[in-house]
Structure 1
Amino acid sequence: MRLLTIGAFARRSGLTPKALRLYDSSGLLPPVAVDPESGYRFYDPAQLDTARLIAELRRIGMPLAEIRTVCTLDGPAAAEAVAAYWRRVTAENAVRARVAGLLLEHLSGRNTMSTTLTVRYATASEPGDVRDVNDDSVHASDHLLAVADGVRGPSGAAASAAAIAALVESGPADARLLSTLVDAVEDADRRVRAVGGDTTLTALVRNGSQLGLVHVGDTRAYLVRAGELVQLTTDHTWVQTQIDQGRLSLEGAAGHPQRALLTRALGVGASAVEADLGLRTALPGDRYLLCSDGVSAVVARPALHSALTTGDTPDDVVGALVRLVHDAGAPDNLSCVVADFVAV
C-alpha cells in the first residue's frame, strides 16, 4: 500500500493541508502515519472517501462536532443526519431573512403596511367534563395572545401560569421581536423550573402588524386567511416525530396511546428548552386561533374550519368551539384564544 503525503492527499480530497492539520489535531481525520523525525503526515488512499465527505459537509456549513457524528454513521443514518441539519439551517435562514426585513424597515423608517390594525379577541379556559382541575392558562391583550397547557400534576397550573406571566411581564415588543421572544422564553423556562412543573406554550407577540410566534409542545396556532385554514405550528410530540419519519400515519397517530407524549416542553430536561420561533405579518381580515390539545385533539379539522369561518366575532367562534368540545365529552382541559385583525 502506497501512502500519500499531505500535499497529494489534499489535492485528491479537495481539502487544504491547513484543514487536514486541523482535522488531525481535532481527531476527526488523523493520518495513518507520521514520520517521527520530520513530522510529515501520511494518509491511506482509503481515507479519501471520508475526507471528501468532510469537505462537502464543510461546504454546507456543518460544524465539526456534527461532522464527526455523521462520519460514524452508515449511509441511511448519515443521510438522515444531513437532512435534519439542512432542515434546521433552512428554518434558521428563513428566520434571519424575516429579521433582516424587519431591521431594514426599522432603519429606513418604512412600515410594511400603511393600514393601522386593531385586534379583537375572546378567550375560554375550562377544566372540561372529566377533570376537576384546570392546568391551562390563557392570555389575550393588544400585544400578546398566549395559551399554555401545564402537564398534569401538582404544579401543572402553576407552571402554565408562570410561563404566560413571563411573557406578560416582558412588556410590549419593539422592532426586536425575536430578541424579545428569546429573552422571554428563557425567563419563562426559569420560572417554570422554579415552580417544579412543566408546560407547553404557544404565543403571538405583536408589534403593529408584525407578529412574533413562539411555540413549545402541543398547544397550537392556526391562521384563517381568505377562508383557508393553516396550522402554523408543529407539535413537539413523539407521534409527530413518527409521522415525520414516515413510521406512523395521521390516522394511526390520532388514536395512538402515546399521542400526548411531549418531546419538548418548558421546564423539561437539564438544559434550556429549544422553542420554535417565527415572524409573521398580520393582514386585515386575519383570524388567529391558539388552543390547547383539549381543543385540537377533540375537534376534527373540518369542524374547526367551519367554526372559524362562520363565526362573525371572536366570541362567536370561542362559543362554538367550546360547544364542540363538550359535545365530544371534553375529556381534557380546553383552552383557546381567537383574535381578529381589523383595519381601522
Structure 2
Amino acid sequence: MRGELLTIGAFARASRLSPKALRLYDELELLRPARVDPYSGYRYYAVEQLRQARLVAWLRRLGMPLAEIRAVCALGRAERDGGTPGRRLGEDAAREIRAYWARVEAETAVRRDLAAFLVDQLTGESRRDSTTMLELRYSARSDRGQVRPANQDAVYAGRRLLAVADGFGPAGAPVSSAAVEALRFLDEEEVGAGGLLNVLEDAVRGAGEAVRDLAADGGKENGTTLTALLWTGSKLALVHIGDSRAYLLRDGELFRITHDHSVVQSLIDEGRLTPEEAESHPQRTLLLKALTGDAAPVPDLRLHEARAGDRYLLCSDGLTRVVADERIGELLAAAPDPEGGVRSLVDEANAAGGPDNVSCVVADVVLPAPEAAVG
C-alpha cells in the first residue's frame, strides 16, 4: 500500500540489500530513509523506495561506483519532484548505464589482450622452433600536408620496428622524433617472445622520459602519440598510445587494430556520439592518452600472429581524418608494394585538402626468399 513504512529489516529483505548496506547508503545520501525515529534512531523506509533500492542493488552487482550510482538515482529523484516525464528519465538512466558498461568493456578488452599477451609469452617460446619464420617488406613516408607550416610527425620503418608518432604543441616535432628515437634500439636487437613485454614496457618508458625532457615546464603543452609494431619473425607486438592508428589488410579485408585514446572515441563508445557526429565535434583533437611532460600512461599492448600476405598500415590522424577507412582499404589493396601504398595514401590525404601532417608506414609480411643453390 502506498505510504506504508517498512522497518529496515523488512526493507532489506524486499530490496535484497543488507541492513549494513542501507545504513551506508543513508550516510552517503544515496538512499535516505523516509523516517528516522528521533529517540531510537531506527530507520523506516517507504514502499515507494523499493524501486530505487532494487536499482541500486543491481548497479552494485554490475560493479558501478557509488558516485555514478548517485547520478543515476538523481534522475529518479527528478521524476518524483515533478521534473521530466518518467519515460525521458528512464532513457537518461539507461544511457548512463550503457555509458558505464561501455567503459567496463573497453577496460576489459585491454586486460584481455594483456592476459593473452602474457599467456603467449609463457607458452610461445617452446613452439618457436616449429614456427615458419617470415619477413617484412616495408616503406615509410611523412608529409607536411597542404596547410600546416611544419611537419610534427615522425616515422620509422626497419626490419624489426615500425613506428609513427604525431607531435603537438610548440615542440611537437622534436618531441615526436624523440619518442621514435627512443624505440630505435629495438630494430637492432633480437627480441624473443619471452622478453617481449618487458622490452616494450622499457622502451615506452624511455620514450616517455625523452618526451618529458623536451616538454615545456613538465606539462601537457607538448606531447606526442606513439604507435609501433615490433617484429619477432612470426609475430607482431603492438604498442599504442593516442589516436594514431594501425590497420591490418588480410584477405582483402581491412581491420583497425588500435583503439583511439580520444575524447570523441570515448563518447562514441559510451553511445553519446555517433561516428558521423564525431567528425565535426569541437573536441575531436583532444586526447585521453598521450606521451607528455607527465608520467607515461599505460599503453595498449597486443600480440598478432602474422601470416604471409598480410599488409599492415601505421598512420597519423592526418590520413584518417580526411580519408575514410573504406577508401584506405581500397588504396592498400590496389598498391603493388609498400612503397606504392604509402605514396597513394599520402597523395589521397593531400588531395582531400591535406589539413594536417600525414605519415604512413606500410609493411608486407612475406616468406623469405629461398637461398641460392650451392653448386
Change in Cα spacing, 1:62 to 1:314, as seen in structure 2 (3 Å) is same
In structure 1, what residue type is equivalent to 2:112? A
User: Where do 1:31-70 residues align within 5 Å?
Assistant: 31-35=33-37, 38-70=40-72
CA RMSD of aligned residues (A): 3.7
Structure 1 equivalent of residue 148 of structure 2: 131
2:301 is the alignment partner of 1:284: no
Structure 1 equivalent of residue 240 of structure 2: 214
Using the size of structure 1 for normalisation, the TM-score is 0.80
In structure 2, what residue type is equivalent to 1:286? D
Structure 1 equivalent of residue 227 of structure 2: 202
Change in Cα spacing, 1:124 to 1:59, as seen in structure 2 (3 Å) is same
Change in Cα spacing, 1:257 to 1:27, as seen in structure 2 (3 Å) is closer
Shift of 1:319: 2.7
Structure 1 equivalent of residue 175 of structure 2: 159
Choose 1 or 2 for highest CA Rg: 2
C-alpha distance in 1 between matches for 2:337 and 2:52: 61
Structure 1 equivalent of residue 358 of structure 2: 334
Shift of 1:96: 3.3
Among candidates 62, 83, 103, match of residue 88 of structure 1: 103
User: Where do 1:190-269 residues align within 5 Å?
Assistant: 191-194=210-213, 195-196=215-216, 197-207=222-232, 208-217=234-243, 219-236=244-261, 245=271, 250=276, 256=280, 258=282, 261-266=285-290
Secondary structure of the corresponding residue to residue 150 of structure 1: strand
Conserved 8 A contact 1:138-1:147: yes
Structure 1 equivalent of residue 138 of structure 2: 121
Conserved 8 A contact 1:198-1:265: no
Larger mean CA deviation between 119-128 and 27-36 belongs to: 27-36
Q: Flag structure 1 segments of 5+ consecutive residues without an equivalent.
A: none
Shift of 1:6: 2.0
Conserved 8 A contact 2:52-2:73: yes
Shift of 1:316: 2.6
Secondary structure of the corresponding residue to residue 72 of structure 1: helix
Change in Cα spacing, 1:163 to 1:8, as seen in structure 2 (3 Å) is farther
Q: Flag structure 2 segments of 5+ consecutive residues without an equivalent.
A: 76-88, 217-221, 369-375
Shift of 1:138: 1.3
C-alpha distance in 2 between matches for 1:139 and 1:20: 58
Shift of 1:311: 2.5
Conserved 8 A contact 1:239-1:258: no
Structure 1, residues 142-190: CA drift from partner, whole Å, max 9, x if none? 4432212112x42111232243345556885855766766676566556
C-alpha distance in 1 between matches for 2:195 and 2:71: 35
Change in Cα spacing, 1:278 to 1:41, as seen in structure 2 (3 Å) is farther
User: Where do 1:165-204 residues align within 5 Å?
Assistant: 165-168=181-184, 174-175=193-194, 188=207, 191-194=210-213, 195-196=215-216, 197-204=222-229
Structure 1, residues 254-287: CA drift from partner, whole Å, max 9, x if none? 5x48485324352579887575554433322211
Shift of 1:135: 0.5
Shift of 1:342: 2.6
Structure 2 equivalent of residue 316 of structure 1: 340
In structure 1, what residue type is equivalent to 2:229? L
Secondary structure of the corresponding residue to residue 224 of structure 2: coil
Shift of 1:137: 1.0
Among candidates 167, 170, 179, match of residue 150 of structure 1: 167
Using the size of structure 2 for normalisation, the TM-score is 0.74
Identity of counterpart residues, as a percentage?
A: 48
